[in-house]
Structure 1
Amino acid sequence: MVQENSGTGTADAGGGDSSRPWQTLSSGFEQARAREDSLDRLVEWPAQRSLLGDVTGLAVLDAGCGNGAKIAQLAEDGAAASVGVDISGNFIAPPPGVELVEGDLSDLAAVPGLAGRLFDRILFLQSFGYAADPVRALRTARGMLAEDGFILLTRTQPIRYAIERAEQNGTSLGEEYFATESFTYRHRNWDEGVTLTKRPYTMSDLLNTFSAAGLWIEAAVEPRMPAEAAERYPHKQALLNKYLGILMFKLRPLRGPQPSR
Structure 2
Amino acid sequence: MVTKDSGAEGAGAVGSDSSRPWQTLSAGFEQARAREDSLDRLVEWPAQRALLGDVTGLAVLDAGCGNGAKIAQLAGEGAAASVGVDISANFVAPPPGVELIQGDLSDLASVAGLAGRPFDRILFLQSFGYAADPVQALRTARDLLTDDGFILLTRTQPIRYAVERSEQNGTSLGEEYFATESFVYRHRNWDEQVTLTKRPYTMSDLLNTFSAAGLWIETTVEPQMSAEAAERYPHKQAVMNAYLGILMFVLRPLSGQPGR
* TM-score greater than 0.5 by the shorter chain: yes
Shift of 1:187: 1.0
* Counterpart for residue 235 of structure 1: 235
Would you say the 8 A contact 2:19–2:87 is kept in 1? no
Change in CA separation of 1:59 and 1:257 when aligned onto 2, cut-off 3 Å: closer
2:85 alignment counterpart:
85
Specify whether residues 257 and 64 from structure 1 end up closer, same or farther in structure 2 by C-alpha distance, changes over 3 A only: closer
Q: Which residue of 2 aligns with 1:21?
A: 21
Q: How many residues align?
A: 244
Q: TM-score, normalised by structure 2?
A: 0.92
Aligned: 1:176 with 2:176:
yes
Q: Hey, what's the Cα distance between the residues in 1 that align with 2:212 and 2:86?
A: 25
Q: d(CA) in 2 for partners of 1:156 and 1:21?
A: 19
C-alpha distance 167-95 of structure 1, shift in aligned 2 (>3 A): same
- In the aligned structure 1, how far is the partner of 2:249 from the partner of 2:166? 27
SS at match of 1:171: coil
Calculate the aligned-residue CA RMSD, in Å: 1.3
Runs of at least 5 residues in structure 1 that lack an aligned partner in the other structure = 1-10
Match of 2:3 in 1: none
- In structure 1, the residue matched to 2:105 is 105
2: CA distance, partners of 1:19 / 1:31: 19
Structure 2 match to 1:115: 115
Deviation, structure 1 residue 20: 2.5
Checking the alignment, whether the CA contact within 8 Å between 1:71 and 1:98 is kept in structure 2 is: yes
Correspondence for 2:6:
none
CA contact under 8 A between 1:18 and 1:132: conserved in structure 2? Answer: no
Residue type of the partner of 2:157? Q
User: Which moved further from structure 2: 56-65 or 248-257?
Assistant: 248-257
Partners of 1:257 and 1:24 lie apart in 2 by 38
Contact 2:219–2:250 (CA under 8 A) maintained in structure 1: yes
1:165 and 1:53 mapped to 2: Cα distance? Answer: 36
Tell me which residue corresponds to 2:151.
151
In 2, Cα distance between the equivalents of 1:77 and 1:101? 21
User: What are the equivalent positions in structure 2 for 1:21-170 lying under 5 Å apart?
Assistant: 21-170=21-170
TM (norm. structure 1) is: 0.91
Letter in structure 1 aligned against 2:185: Y
Give the secondary-structure state (helix, strand or coil) at the position aligned to 2:152.
strand
Q: Look up the SS of the partner of 1:238 in the other structure.
A: helix
Q: Deviations over 1:21-56 (max 9, x none)?
A: 111111111110111000000000000000000000
Q: Identity percentage over the alignment?
A: 87
Structure 1 residue 19: Cα displacement: 4.6
Secondary structure at the aligned position of 1:239 is classed as helix
